[in-house]
Structure 1
Amino acid sequence: MLNEPVDSRISPIAIGDIGAKVEVHNGQHLKSTCTINKLDKMYVCGFRYHFANDVTESIDFTDYSSLTINLSVTGPNNNGSVRLQLTSFNDSYASKENVDTQKYQGVTLDNSVTPFAYNIPLVNFEVESWWLYRYNIGMRDSLAELDKVTGFVIVHNGFSAPGEYRISVNELMLEGRYLSVITAICVLLIFTFIIVVLLIARHRYMLKSQIELDVLTGVLNRSGMNSFLKRQLRRKRKRNTFGVIFIDIDDFKKVNDTYGHDFGDEILMTFGAHCKQFINSCLPPDSVSKLVRVSGDEFVVIVRTTDKSLIELLCRTLCESFESGLLTSIGNFSINISVGGAFGWPDEDGIDTLLKQADKAMYIAKQNGKNQWRVYGKNTS
């Protein structure tokens, strides 16, 4: 790994009032020299080496089991510690302009006897805690990432006497097993098969989403509602009762006429998200529900439940939930809704009768001044 010209890929590291330089001997041996005149603080000295001129280019270390390094440390004493760090680059946390943002994964080397060859299992490399704290790294990126190694860093610290210290790296070599050609082909075929299966499944899911989901709001459309009902009606339960809630945004045409259709679409998207979140928060765990956009500003909630009072509660609280308006791009926007509910058993036509009853209850709510709710058979006379 050190048998190519490397002058443009190495740089010294010096923390504190310290003189540091890095030299290349015979095109493959690296030597870092640190000169400390006075010990009055913590010093760190060493060098950084990149495998390529582009600091984002990397090598996959996961094909290997260990790393062997042959180095020597000389100086007034060897009481300090030497730390070997592997650096990794990933766009999610690192910047090409700042090499310090690359992930640092390190191990401490025993330099009590030098020179020495040290074989390090790659599983021993751990992400440096200082790097996690400095760049506020989240849990997802806090683990070692040895499939994108861009280079290595060697630093020496803990100096206990002034003078000149030298770290020489004579060899750095990866060791481990590799796949045979036949095994590699088998793995590739299996991987290809899995990719094809996943792509087919994803394609089917996307087609189903296009058919059954409303493009604007992301809730079910009429086709999706019919598929949901077919699945529910096939599941035999002790009581096969449903609640249906019809929702209409009052005077929605005025919103489009006054603010334009783009803002009207924003209202519908925000309205759908609000209704979905609110209804899910109100339902008990054993209830099954779906929100459906049946036309421009009309939505339907279908709830599989044995509790008729739950439908009345949802109708009332859903109306009340819009008293403070909707948060939009132009601020808090006031809207009102008219709601109609129905409860009962499905007939030979599914829940068409319940849909008509809920629609009628909603229409009566509108006739009585809007911004209110009605439940069929209770307050629709």
Structure 2
Amino acid sequence: MIRPKSYATFRLLAVLITIILIATHQYLPAKILPLYPDPERLSWIYSPHAHDTEQADWIDRSINHFRCNYAPGDAYSCGWSLNLGPDRTTGIDLSAYDGLNIFIHYKGNAPRIRLSLRDFDPSFSDIEKYDTTSKVMSTAIRTSDLNQPVYVQLSEFSVAEWWITEFDIARQYSAPSMNNAIAIGLDFNVHSDNEIRIERIEAVGQWIKKETLYFCIILFWMILIVIEVLWRFYLINIKTKTDAQRINNLVSEYKKLETEKQQFEALSTTDVLTGVMNRAGVQQFLQRLFESNFSRNQMGVMLFDIDYFKKINDSLGHDAGDVVLSEIARIINEQVRQTDIFGRWGGEEFILICSQISEDRLITLAEKLRETIERHSFAIDDQLIKVTVSIGATTVKATETFEAVFKRTDKALYNAKNSGRNQVRFFSP
């Protein structure tokens, strides 16, 4: 895996290389292709009449020194031409170059000299008539600029209008092209007397064009950015999977802890003997109920007390008392709804909180529970005994506290016990 420091170092190095390439590109050595002098390239002078020494003639052919007299009355100019390829249909590709360095020595009275290039393209050039059907492109150089190195951009060349018209060239072929330049030459388009010596002609370009360099730099950075995005996505994906696994482990641990918590809460809020809610459990429910905005209208409370429970313990033993407590808890728990809260309040007392119940239904339920317990026979060892309960009941007002409700319920239970036990007493709020 690539370390963040290693990648940061690589990216910084890439930035430095980019800056160096942009800053030093213009100082890189030029790409130069010598065109003349070159012993393998043939040159000649031409005039309207072959070998007419009166219009054009060599002064010293070994150094391409000649004269060209374009006099009034001459139908055509005279000039000089250099073959760029081994034959007149195979040339060189100048499209990778930017211009020409030309050093010409000149004496004469012509204001300008015409520099021309010919490009042979089989799409429109006739191999039998290459001198005329090859594309003619030219530009003009002031003679005052000669006798010193002159730089001519290839973009200065334009296709001769007469050539396009005479050979009816299609529009797509009428733009300058230098993919197969077969000849370069110069001549005069005004009447003049001229002496020319060609010292040097060379094609000049850049090893790496600025546009190509910038394109490569942009492409490099785009690839680098894509790689970085993909790499970061990969890291994020790995981290996401790791985090998801960690979260799953935490969720699993949380569920385990929650299950254990619920088990502990159940143990802490359940009466071990009877299996119903103990006092702590009932108080937790009452705290949430009376401290919330939950409507407490139509809610009733009952408090049960086993009659003469102490006598049962004293005469039959505490095991018998435990049986009675468990049986009574079972009987009441089976008769109430799942929405009701029933639990052991302490000793021989039980408490029942009923939701959505009117006074009449609360009293009816209390009498039903009392009668069910009264009719039940409790099996203690080999004997059956009867047990009764006294019940105090009340309903709840929406605004009162549980302490007030319990105090009223306890008074009702006290009244039931003092009135002979085995009965229900209801106190209205």
TM-score, shorter chain, exceeding 0.5? no
Greater radius of gyration (CA): 2
The structure with the largest strand share of the pair is 1
Could you say which TM-score interval applies, normalised by the shorter chain? Answer: 0.3 to 0.5
So what's the TM-score if we normalise by structure 2? 0.39
The structure with the largest helix share of the pair is 2
